[in-house]
Amino acid sequence: MSNDALDTEQIDHFIRYCRIEKRYSIHTINAYRRDIKQFQVAVLKNDETVSIISSQATDIQSFVAHLHRQGQQPKTIKRKLSSLSSFFNYLVRQEIIKSSPVIGIHSPKLTRSLPQTLEIETLDRLLAIPCDSFINARDQAILEVFYSSGLRLSELVSLDYVDINFYDKTVKVLGKGNKERLLPLGDKAMTALKQWFEYRQHKLEMGENAVFISNRGQRIHQRSIQQRVNHWQKKLGIEQSVHPHKLRHSFATHLLQSSGDLRAVQELLGHADISTTQVYTHLDYQHLAKVYDQAHPRARKKDDLKK
């Protein structure tokens, strides 16, 4: 068996481990496979005498340099290094190699950009969709649930009818890493869902459990939701771009501004690490700084004070 075949066999074992034992999402597993395969091609270079199992730190460094030359973003390079690190750590645990060649390789520094949010007035316009048809009722319910509970797009698409508890006003969500969390649903989101279910029942295909369905009665696709959100932005004349994740950002920012409870926001968003949630504290500070600049006499420019 060639080194290429042996490498492929180990990659397959690792992917099976991620799927069965770690129970990673299909998106994570596919990303792992793509990243490792890309590294395999870069290392082998059509030479079957070379093996990624015998890779050294210099091979990892060459791969990173190759990604830089391709113009890959630091965030993408960091993810690919993380995929390789998981793979080689698996090989170490299986006693196939003694140490990981990724150890000591530094990821490129990320320049974290602040998430963009929508003003409450803009959200009010966006959420005021007339609930007078199948499409409109569905779209309004989608937008209300996004903003009410801060769901990711993938989480909203995967919702089933049994995940909605009308008595407790909660929704059960399966997030990243197959971790469940229970989120509250606001009164307006509950009202929108009830109105939507009145329309939904007439087009639902037999055996379909999805909360949000297409005109054909089947679970709606992520791309369709993105297109509908974009449709309403243009139809309502909203100048600021609107997308599902911006509704999630708006949910987190507005909640943090009102409560100041970072830990609670972390739980609601389903962030494993609170450092991920801390980006919203910077947005909150920006909001406070803006209020200060507008209201405090000492913050105003001299020209403004002369007016």
For the stretch 29-52, pLDDT in tens is 999 999 999 998 887 775 666 788
SS3 74: helix
pLDDT per position as a tens digit, 265-279: 788 888 777 766 666
Q: Are residues 181 and 48 in the same domain?
A: no
Whole-model pTM over 0.85? no
Residue 44 placed within a domain:
yes
pLDDT per position as a tens digit, 227-258: 999 999 999 999 888 999 899 888 888 887 77
Domain count, the chain: 2
Q: Are residues 88 and 124 in the same domain?
A: no
Q: Are residues 40 and 185 in the same domain?
A: no
Q: Are residues 244 and 204 in the same domain?
A: yes
Q: Are residues 8 and 137 in the same domain?
A: no
Residue 111 placed within a domain:
no
Residue 109 DSSP class: P
Q: Which domain holds residue 32?
A: 3-93
Q: Are residues 289 and 195 in the same domain?
A: yes
In 135-227, at which residue ranges do the beta strands (DSSP E only) sit?
164-165, 170-174, 180-184
Query: Which CATH number belongs to the domain containing residue 151 in this structure?
Result: 1.10.443.10
Task: Name the residues annotated as catalytic.
Answer: 152, 176, 245, 248, 271, 280
Return the closest-CA partner of residue 151 out of 199, 198, 212, 195: 212
Residue 303 placed within a domain:
no
Q: Are residues 143 and 289 in the same domain?
A: yes
Strands 164-165 and 180-184: unpaired
Looking up tokens 């403004």 gives 304
Percent of the chain with pLDDT over 90: 45
CB atoms within 10 A of CB 271: 17
CB atoms within 10 A of CB 278: 14
Residue 230 placed within a domain:
yes
Residue 106 placed within a domain:
no
